[in-house]
Structure 1
Amino acid sequence: MAKPEKVDAVAELTELFRESDAALLTEYRGLSVQKLKQLRRALGDEAHYAVVKNTLTEIAAREAGIDAFEGQLSGPTAIAFIKGEPVGAAKALRDFAKENDKLVVKFGYFEGKLLSKDDVTKLADLESREVLLAKAAGALKGSLSKAAAVFQAPLSKTVRTVDALRDKQEAA
């Protein structure tokens, strides 16, 4: 029979998997408690970073309907459970790993698919949703300005022509 602590841990992990939009798995071997605190602060409010037991994590993932972790977990594992856009958390992990070589990004899970380490790196290289939306808005605004100028050109040309005709008629 399972110990109540393990049952509670599996239930908590299952809930975290269900509530999260993405999960990024790391190996934290050799990081001090202080460094882990720094990492949690760097991840911000959108991510919950938890050190987990592999066996319990596999059970919790299976209960949450995620079968991508089967046989993938080994060594000391910590998971960043992400609510919302995963780009910011992926960038935070990448940047922290550059400064602290003991943090290793293993793989991730996003939208029902297992992400390789390279996929997580590509995700971190993306610009945030807000930046992409701002660029799209700027492009649309530029296109609308050009369209307005095109539509306004015949009108202003007509006005200049009428003014020229009026000036010519007054002169005659």
Structure 2
Amino acid sequence: MTRTEKAEFISSLTEEFKSSDGLIVCDYKGLNVKAIEALRNSARPEVVNVKVIKNTLASIAMKNAGIEGLELKDTNIFVWGADQLAVTKIVATFAKTNPNFIIKSGFAGGIVVDAAKVEALSKMPSRNELIGMLLSTWMAPITNFTIGLDALRAKKQESE
């Protein structure tokens, strides 16, 4: 990679990191290409990026994006996207099935988080799940009212 290609790569990576809400750094040592492709395939529908990036290039891009505090050592794979819950869910699900895939740290909501917090975030309901819960709560009184009306109608029919 030439110097200009590196500069272009760093600038595009900086823009992607700035627009993302969640970034997780994981160790992938011991994973084969098929397993990494499975991770990428699971991330694609959620619009989550998965890339192996050289630590020096990633650290420059993160510094330019205002992401500081992540320590980059050894082999790293970077997972990032606009929805931090989607990123954490993909990483945590993949880590459960692949023991060689280790979550190191992350950057979510403007703060550095450790592997335990990434796990905790992955267990939270997504935006769509929360909307579904809210709608079912709002619909409960209406549903109960219609059930009561139907029971009243059935009782009146029986008494006639």
- TM bracket, shorter-chain basis: 0.7 to 0.9
Describe the SS at the equivalent of 1:62. helix
- 2: CA distance between counterparts of 1:28 and 1:58? 18
What corresponds to 1:62 in structure 2? 63
TM-score normalised according to structure 1 size: 0.76
Structure 1 SS opposite 2:66 = coil
> Residues 74-129 of structure 1, C-alpha deviation per residue, up to 9 Å, x if partnerless?
1111111112x222332222121121111111111112111111110011111221
Name the residue aligned to 1:89: 87
Per the TM alignment, residue 26 of structure 1 is displaced from its structure 2 partner at its CA by 0.9
Q: Which moved more, 1:126-135 or 1:88-97?
A: 88-97
Q: Hey, what's the Cα distance between the residues in 1 that align with 2:93 and 2:109?
A: 23
Which residue of 116, 121, 126 maps to 2:119? 121
**One-letter amino acid matched to 1:108:** G
For residue 40 of structure 1, report the CA deviation from its aligned partner: 0.4
CA distance in 2, matches of 1:13, 1:111: 18
Partner-residue secondary structure (3-state), 1:44: helix
The residue aligned with 1:157 is: none
Shift of 1:29: 0.8
Of stretches 87-96 and 117-126 in structure 1, the one that deviates more from structure 2 is 87-96
Q: Distance in 2 between matches of 1:90 and 1:111?
A: 12
Question: Normalising by structure 2, what TM-score?
Answer: 0.81
Structure 2, unaligned runs of 5 or more: 150-160
Which protein shows a greater Rg? 1
- The share of aligned pairs that are identical, in percent, is 26
Q: Over aligned residue pairs, what C-alpha RMSD do you find? A: 2.2
The question of whether the paired residues in 1 share the 8 Å contact of 2:26 and 2:103 is answered with yes
- The question of whether the paired residues in 1 share the 8 Å contact of 2:95 and 2:101 is answered with yes
Query: Could you say which residue in structure 1 is the equivalent of 2:76?
Result: 77
Q: CA deviation at 1:49?
A: 0.3
After superposition, the C-alpha distances for 1:116-172 in whole angstroms (9 at most, x for unaligned) are 1111001111122111111111112224556x69xx9xxxxxxxxxxxxxxxxxxxx
Q: Secondary structure at the match of 1:68?
A: coil
Aligned to 1:138, what secondary structure does the other structure show? helix
Q: Give the partner amino acid of 2:92.
A: R
